[in-house]
Amino acid sequence: MSTTSRAWRHAFRESLRHSLRHSLRREQADRHHRSFFGWLIWLLFLPVRLVFGLVAFIIGLVGRVVGVVLGLVLLLAGVLISLTIVGAIVGVPLALLGLLIVLKSLF
């Protein structure tokens, strides 16, 4: 690994750390020094935030289930195609792709 790439990586890490520290510090300061209207707006938008959080959770869960089902279908199709000798060229990579999609969806 070259010295230049190490220097770039180090500079990127430091800038990322600095920006994360700065944003967290600003967020904590904002949380403790909110005005009455800030708390009121936060309280009014809380149900909206909770509903959107629930919708995002459900969409993520449905996406994972769809990924598992699609992966299992590709896995099964790959195994069935690879039962013939000629189809093994296409079937084995298809089965591996299905397995990778299932693993990615589960973990």
Write out pLDDT tens, residues 15-30.
777 776 776 665 555 5
Residues 61 and 23 in one domain: no
Residues 98 and 76 in one domain: yes
pLDDT at 36: 83
Tens digit of pLDDT for each residue in 50-101? 999 999 999 999 999 999 999 999 999 999 999 988 888 999 999 999 999 9
Residue appearing with tokens 């199709």: 77
Domain range enclosing 70: 44-107
Is residue 49 a part of any domain in this protein?
yes
Is residue 38 a part of any domain in this protein?
no
Give percent helix, percent strand, percent coil of the chain, each to the nearest 5: 90, 0, 10
Task: Give dist(CA 3, CA 91) in Å, integer.
Answer: 44
Residues 25 and 50 in one domain: no
Residues 27 and 2 in one domain: yes
| pLDDT band per the 50, 70, 90 thresholds, residue 12 | confident
